[in-house]
């Protein structure tokens, strides 16, 4: 598996964090535009961006939203036999329709997100392949009902304040909060063959130039620009900025499974979305009706955060905190240790 050349001595600098924040706001902005906003030269931004990519700290990629194509998204918890979990997790991480994989619960539980592009693809995995795997002891699948944070171009709030409001405005941010939309579109989009080629090129590099996208789609830069704008506007694809949280000092990650009074689910989800310690939050089906992913600097901070910030939310009835032992994949990007190494290559369970 190709990976980044990670230097033990590499440390993310404040200038790097400003660039990362700028990319969260405008992932396809030119280096010149980013330089003007963050107060660096264009060559410095270019050089630092390429180093962040090479070191596995940052990756910009286009991600297709299956909900915009009419398909539901699912979170799955697998309990596996000891000794088999790593092989199953690696195989899941290699699937293109599985975009998030983590090991937790002392290494015998896998949590993953299924984003199949068709019902048949999803049923093949959840209904046939996984149940037939002898090492899988138990499967629980939860439909995502409402997404409050994560994906669709939204960004992790931990970096709020790195740039001033004026600097963010230079990059096109209007300071508006994340707009909730249905997880599954009421009027699904249909991708053409050209759209698929554009999306494939963006999956490899979310900052690919219009010239490169046009070559991939056998089209012209002008036509590709118009089509990309339409795909982004409809939420069919978003340009995701994936960050290796550990490289920024966040070494404790956990899945939070919350049981919330039904009347409070929306407010709890929105409150979690405003928390810098939360990287993802969604309402889901099942007894734990809110799922979130927390990033903290260490286990003590995780304890304080879940006790004081999350534990005090009105309507919360119970909470399971499941620390992540190993993160294999996030938003379609594979990880090696704590660093990003690139997209999956289509292996199967």
Domain membership flag for residue 48: yes
Whether residues 267 and 323 share a domain: the answer is: yes
pLDDT greater than 90 at residue 180: no
pLDDT greater than 80 at residue 107: no
Say which range, 28-42, 54-68, 151-165, has the weakest mean pLDDT. Answer: 151-165
- Number of structural domains (the chain) is 3
Q: Percentage helix, strand, coil, to 5, in the chain?
A: 40, 30, 35
Residues 6 or more apart from 199 whose CB is under 8 A from it?
62, 64, 191, 231, 237
Residue range 89-104: mean pLDDT, rounded: 93
Q: Is residue 265 a contact partner of residue 283, using CB atoms and an 8 Å limit? A: yes
Question: According to the model, what pLDDT value does residue 176 have?
Answer: 61
Whether residues 52 and 169 share a domain: the answer is: yes
Say which range, 136-150, 175-189, 290-304, has the weakest mean pLDDT. Answer: 175-189
Question: According to the model, what pLDDT value does residue 133 have?
Answer: 87
CA distance 152 to 154: 6
CATH number for the domain spanning 21: value is: 1.10.10
CATH number for the domain spanning 315: value is: 3.30.70.920
Q: 127 by DSSP, 3-state: which? A: helix
pLDDT in tens, 327-345: 999 988 999 988 999 776 5
**Residue predicted with more confidence, 82 or 110:** 110
CA distance 265 to 260: 6
**Which pLDDT band, with edges at 50, 70 and 90, does 177 fall under?**
low
pLDDT in tens, 239-248: 999 999 999 9
The residue range of the domain holding 287 is: 249-330
Given 197, 213, 243, which residue is the final one in a domain? 243
Question: According to the model, what pLDDT value does residue 347 have?
Answer: 47
Question: According to the model, what pLDDT value does residue 263 have?
Answer: 98
Whether residues 38 and 72 share a domain: the answer is: no
Whether residues 115 and 222 share a domain: the answer is: no
Which pTM value belongs to this model?
0.89
């Amino acid at each position: 598996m190709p990976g980044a050349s990670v230097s033990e001595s590499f440390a993310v600098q404040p200038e790097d964090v400003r660039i990362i924040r700028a990319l969260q706001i405008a992932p396809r902005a030119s280096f010149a535009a980013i330089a003007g906003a963050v107060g660096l030269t264009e060559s410095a931004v270019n050089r630092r961006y390429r180093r962040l990519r090479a070191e596995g700290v940052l990756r910009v990629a286009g991600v297709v939203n299956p909900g915009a194509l009419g398909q539901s998204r699912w979170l799955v918890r697998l309990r596996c036999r000891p000794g088999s979990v790593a092989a199953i997790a690696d195989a899941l991480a290699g699937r293109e329709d599985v975009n998030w994989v983590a090991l937790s619960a002392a290494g015998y539980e896998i949590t993953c997100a299924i984003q199949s592009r068709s019902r048949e693809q999803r049923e093949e995995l959840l209904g046939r392949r996984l149940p037939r795997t002898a090492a899988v002891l138990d499967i629980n699948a939860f439909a995502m009902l409402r997404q409050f944070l994560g994906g669709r171009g939204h960004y992790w709030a931990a970096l709020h304040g790195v740039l001033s409001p004026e600097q963010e405005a230079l990059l096109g941010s209007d300071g508006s909060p994340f707009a909730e939309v249905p997880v599954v579109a009421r009027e699904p989009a249909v991708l053409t063959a050209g759209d698929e080629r554009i999306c494939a090129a963006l999956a490899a590099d979310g900052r690919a130039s219009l010239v490169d996208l046009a070559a991939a789609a056998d089209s012209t830069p002008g036509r590709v620009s118009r089509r990309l704008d339409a795909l982004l506007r409809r939420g069919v694809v978003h340009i995701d900025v994936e960050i290796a949280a550990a490289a920024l000092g966040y070494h404790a990650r956990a899945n939070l499974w919350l049981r919330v009074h039904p009347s409070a689910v929306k407010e709890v989800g929105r409150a979690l979305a405003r928390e810098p310690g939360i990287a993802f939050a969604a309402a889901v089906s099942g007894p734990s009706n809110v799922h979130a992913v927390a990033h903290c600097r260490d286990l003590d901070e995780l304890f304080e955060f879940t006790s004081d910030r999350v534990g005090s939310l009105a309507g919360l009835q119970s909470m399971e905190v499941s620390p992540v032992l190993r993160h294999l994949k996030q938003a379609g990007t594979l990880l090696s240790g704590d660093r990003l190494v690139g997209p999956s290559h289509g292996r199967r369970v």
